[in-house]
Homo-oligomer: A and B are copies of this chain.
């Protein structure tokens, strides 16, 4: 946990909030939540700390094209699927076959693969139910 940086009150509380808050919050949601404990904290500080914590690997940054950044206190290997109806982000287990497929795809392209980002979109079980009821 020693990153060569200081563990300020703000940083500790932000980290704590993200670890407890299992909703993959946006920076703004973290800001709102943390303000209950630190009413004078600024949004800038939240952004700076989220960025720093992500760079030191204490949290994960989830970036999905065209959407706000989200943050995840769960560092274990897993992917996310976004519900196209309600927008909710759900954890799903990681599947190592993606990388295998990528590596094969790129085999004779001359590229050296560095990372793969897979974004899944679908309808979540709750929204599926609602859809069915509408019939």
Contact = CB atoms under 8 A, between A and B. Distances in A.
Given A92-B105, A98-B101, A101-B98, A84 B121 contact: no
B105 A95 contact: yes
Interface stretch (A7-15, A18-26, A41-49, A58-66): A58-66
A37 to B, nearest CB: 29
A86 interface: no
> Interface size for chain A: under 10, 10 to 19, 20 to 34, or 35 or more residues?
35 or more
A116 B102 CA distance: 14
A63 B106 CA distance: 21
8 residue pairs, one from A and one from B, having the closest CB atoms:
A110-B125, A63-B65, A117-B119, A111-B122, A113-B122, A112-B123, A95-B105, A114-B122
